[in-house]
Amino acid sequence: MAGRIRDVDIALVRERSPIADVIGEHIQLRNAGGGNLKGLCPFHDEKSPSFNVTPERGMFFCFGCSEGGDVITFVEKIEHLSFAEAVERLAQRAGIQLQYEQGGYVPRRDHGERARLIEAHRAAAEFYADKLMSPDAAPGRRFLSERGFERADAEAFGVGYAPAEWEALSRHLMGRGFTADELVKGGLAKEGRRGPIDRFRGRLIWPIRDATGDVIGFGARKLLDSDEGPKYLNTPDSPLYKKSQVLYGIDLAKREISKRAQAVIVEGYTDVMACHLAGVPTAVATCGTSFGEEHIKILRRFLLDQAEFRGEVIFTFDGDAAGQKAALRAFADEQKFVTQTYVAVQSDGLDPCDLRIKQGDAAVRDLIASREPLFQFAIRSTISRYDLRSNEGKIAALDAAAPIVAGIKDVGLRKRYAIDLDRWLGFMDERFVMQRIAEVSGAQQGRSRRAPKAAPLDPGVRVEGELLKLAVQRPALLGPRFDALDAQAFTAPDHVMLHKIIVAAGGLAAAGHGGREWVDLLLEHAHEEGARGLVTRFAVEPIQADAHAEERYAGAMLAAIEAIAVDRAIAQVKSRIQRLNPVEEQQEYNKLFGELVALEQQRRVLRDRAAGS
């Protein structure tokens, strides 16, 4: 058993581990006056900084969650280590050789599990980097060269090569004193029939580091046609590596992120390299997963993301449909930032790496400089899905975009985007657009008095939703009348998608009496992103009618949506009549007037039926 670390060594570790420097490797700290520093707490989510550090006394305390202590306590909590492991971690950082009271000096191989795994990954990174210059690594060097990276660039980012052998790394590390269990636990190797086999073989390797610079995992790119694995392969989750909490390049970018109050989110390892080499040193990337809440927490701590709009987070995506979807997913997380968020989309679809190859470093810098506010991108992408040549399309686009505008935190910014939305839609009626958005905003904040919280704002959209719930849950109540509805009867994006799924499944004619079989059939035709969840939601969301009244309710909803379609037809006929001269074009005028009378009679009948709900 290892002995207890000597008190004198613990005191030396504290002395040579300035608390501001250690904590500053994890969050940005700013002067709070009186010799104190302040930042966003890494132990709980907060909007304004309540995490205080007093370098003079070597202590920290969060007034939000009450976590506090000295530099060793901080490392214990942030790294999830025991006291002894935290001391050893800091000693290693400060270059201190620890002595133990029972048994003398303890070599590093007897350190805690995390420290052992960190050392194994450091040794693996050195091994891979050394192999990049071997003859077998020629495909890897060619890959880098074709993407504009020189040997010095590879060395700067620690890029390496995993030999196309079963046990090259495992033999090397076990020769250095690491055990098979440690290699497997750290994700460096897998269990083989006769011992550990390397996880990465015949691939180009990028070491993935945490914010402190320790290697915690690897990303590996396929090079050989004989490799049947995925194009990119990452370290699996391990005691060191959690992909949802890792940003590639954060160790290199964190100081510039804090200095410039800017973070650029790109999609791959080579994009991070290209950005840094092109003069955008704030670039980071996720590792085999989409950008999420844990990544936001990491960036917020370095941006010191707080109440005022100081900094910026810029997402770069391809200009294709997939890139637009990714950007809109990022918008869903925007509210978790206080910092302003932007999108930088290259119109020709080039990612930063390809852009640098074809157009040079300046083009990468220009891409970032030409960023578009994420709100603007989200709004314009949303309304682009609608036909803005008709009033119906404009209204549908407005209702789809209104929640985005209503969700903007800053009141002044919300008003400006409302004005922009009016201009983009072509209404030229700012008061009308602002009123629509204000109604959505009130509903979102629980202040709407016009409708219960559970009901959508637009009555037409509410009817669409209720009718689709009936189509999924009680198809026999709707029958052929539902199948006869025009696709344009549905305007909300989710409703349009679900109607397409129902049509693709054969319509209600294929539903029988409904039940699980009908839902399963719908799920089989739910191919678009989010479609399966949509079907599931409508299959379980309660219908707004008592069971004994569902048949009457179904008839009323059908009549209501048919009435809405007639409303559209009436608006079109009225528009045509207004353009006619009743004297010079009397025959056409009388014909349209007769159509109008018939349509209005039809609408009265349908509204009477709808009122039966």
Extended beta strands in 241-334, E state: 247-248, 262-266, 283-286, 312-318
Q: How confident is the model at residue 105 (pLDDT cuts 50, 70, 90)?
A: very low
pLDDT band at residue 17 under the 50/70/90 scheme: very high
CA distance from start to end of the chain: 78
For residue 232, is pLDDT > 90?
yes
Q: Rg of the Cα trace of the chain? A: 31
pLDDT band at 309 (very low <50, low <70, confident <90, very high): very low
Instruction: Tell me the two tokens of residue 52.
Output: 């205080």
Q: Render pLDDT for 48-76 as a digit per residue (tens, 0 to 9).
A: 898 989 888 888 888 888 788 889 999 99
The structure's pTM equals 0.63
Q: Would the pLDDT of 453 be above 50?
A: no
Q: What is the pLDDT of residue 3?
A: 67
Residue-level pLDDT at 61:
87
Outline where 279-390 has alpha helix (H).
293-303, 321-332, 352-359, 361-369, 374-383
pLDDT at 66: 79
Q: How confident is the model at residue 225 (pLDDT cuts 50, 70, 90)?
A: confident
Of 166-180, 292-306, 533-547, the range with the highest mean pLDDT is 166-180
How does residue 206 score in pLDDT terms, banded at 50, 70 and 90? Answer: very high
Q: Report which of residues 120 and 554 the model is more confident about.
A: 120
Between 31-40, 113-122, 220-229, the lowest mean confidence (pLDDT) is in 31-40
Range among 50-54, 131-135, 413-417, 574-578 rated most confident:
131-135
When comparing pLDDT for 442 and 389, which is higher?
389
Length reported for the chain: 613
Per-residue pLDDT, 4: 84
Q: Would the pLDDT of 492 be above 60?
A: yes
| Helical residues (DSSP H) of 67-112, grouped into ranges | 71-79, 83-94
pLDDT in tens, 507-529: 999 998 788 788 789 988 988 88
Q: 185 or 474, which is more confident?
A: 185
Least confident of 102-111, 123-132, 408-417: 102-111
Q: What pLDDT score was predicted for residue 363?
A: 96
Which pLDDT band, with edges at 50, 70 and 90, does 326 fall under? Answer: low
Contact between 465 and 495 (Cβ < 8 Å): yes
Q: What percent of the chain has pLDDT over 90?
A: 41
- Place 237 in a pLDDT band, splitting at 50, 70 and 90: very high
Strand segments, DSSP code E, in 419-578 are none
| CA-closest candidate to residue 467, choices 543, 397, 407 | 543
Q: 91 pLDDT exceeds 80?
A: yes
Mean pLDDT of 339-350: 81
- What pLDDT shows up at residue 107? 46
Whether residue 306 contacts residue 287, with contact meaning beta carbons closer than 8 Å, is answered with no
Q: Which residue has the higher pLDDT, 533 or 469?
A: 469
Indicate if the pLDDT at residue 134 is higher than 50. yes
Mean pLDDT, the chain, rounded, equals 85
Query: Would you say residue 583 has pLDDT above 50?
Result: yes
pLDDT for the residue 133:
96
Condensed to tens digits (0 to 9), the pLDDT of residues 382-429 reads: 898 899 988 899 999 998 899 888 877 778 888 899 999 999 999 888
Distance CA 613, CA 560 (A): 10
In sequence order, the 6+-apart residues with CB closer than 8 A to the CB of 537 are: none
Q: Which of 10-14, 374-378, 582-586 is predicted with the least confidence, judged by mean pLDDT?
A: 582-586
* 45 conformational bin, left if phi > 0, alpha if psi -120 to 50, beta if neither: beta
pLDDT for the residue numbered 608: 67
pLDDT number for residue 535: 82
The answer to whether residues 401 and 493 touch, using CB atoms and an 8 Å cutoff, is no
Query: Six-digit token pair at 95?
Result: 């270059």
Lowest-pLDDT range of 89-103, 472-486, 514-528, 557-571: 557-571
pLDDT tens string 328-337:
666 565 555 6
Contacts 24+ apart (CB under 8 A), 578-587: none
- 611, with CB counted inside 10 A (0-12, 13-18, 19+), is exposed
Provide mean pLDDT across the span 78-92: 87
User: Residue 86 above 80 pLDDT?
Assistant: yes
Buried b (16+ CB within 10 A) or exposed e, 407-416: bbeeeeebbe
Structure tokens, 539: 């299959």
The pLDDT value recorded for residue 109 is 43
Q: What would the pLDDT profile of 595-610 be if each residue is shown by its tens digit?
A: 777 777 767 776 666 5
Helices then strands, each counted (H, E), the chain: 26, 17
For 16-35, what is the mean pLDDT? Answer: 90
Non-local (6+) Cβ contacts of 55 within 8 A are: 18, 19, 20, 35, 37
Kindly list the strands in the beta sheet with 247-248, ordered across the sheet, starting from the edge strand earlier in the chain.
247-248, 283-286, 262-266, 312-318, 340-346, 372-373
The string of DSSP letters for 8-60 reads: HHHHHHHHTS-HHHHHHTTS--EEEETTEEEE--SSS--SS--EEEETTTTEE
Highest mean pLDDT among 67-71, 119-123, 348-352: 119-123
